[in-house]
Amino acid sequence: MSFFLFFSGHVAGSLIASLDMRRMQRWELARAFDLLNVLQVIRLLGTRGHYTIDLAVGVGAGVLFDSLAGKYVECKQRKPITNTVTAKDGRRLF
């Protein structure tokens, strides 16, 4: 299973760009990225720049890394948890 370590970063990067354009509701640009990505896959297969599995795993890696980045951003936007204890009369103890 060592092929998972050598995915196509070209495909993953352009897929992440396409997903980002969809998130920003720039539909035409997202479709353009998708078309260019398909042409890139054909080029990479035709010139034997990557194996087929590298390209397929590149798509999966792009989706995975995009979702991880989204979770990271959501985590950073949450309010921090405060560890305070208050008494019954409303005073902050620590």
Does residue 89 lie within any of the structural domains?
Answer: no
Q: Is 10 a catalytic residue?
A: yes
Does residue 11 lie within any of the structural domains?
Answer: yes
Does residue 91 lie within any of the structural domains?
Answer: no
- List, for residues 19-46, the tens digit of each pLDDT value: 999 999 999 999 999 999 999 889 888 8
pLDDT at residue 28, rounded to an integer: 96
- List, for residues 58-92, the tens digit of each pLDDT value: 899 999 999 999 888 888 887 666 666 777 777 77
Q: Is 54 a catalytic residue?
A: yes
Phi, psi of 20 (to 5 degrees): -65, -40
Q: Which domain holds residue 11?
A: 2-77
Does residue 25 lie within any of the structural domains?
Answer: yes
> Which residue is catalytic, options 20, 50, 66, 89?
50
Does residue 85 lie within any of the structural domains?
Answer: no
Q: Is the pLDDT of residue 1 over 60?
A: no
* Total domains present in the chain: 1
Q: Is 50 a catalytic residue?
A: yes
Does residue 35 lie within any of the structural domains?
Answer: yes
With a threshold of 0.75, does the pTM exceed it?
A: no
Pick the closest to residue 33 from 12, 17, 9 (CA basis): 17
**Which two three-digit tokens encode residue 21?**
């354009």
pLDDT at residue 18, rounded to an integer: 94
pLDDT at residue 36, rounded to an integer: 93
pLDDT at residue 56, rounded to an integer: 86
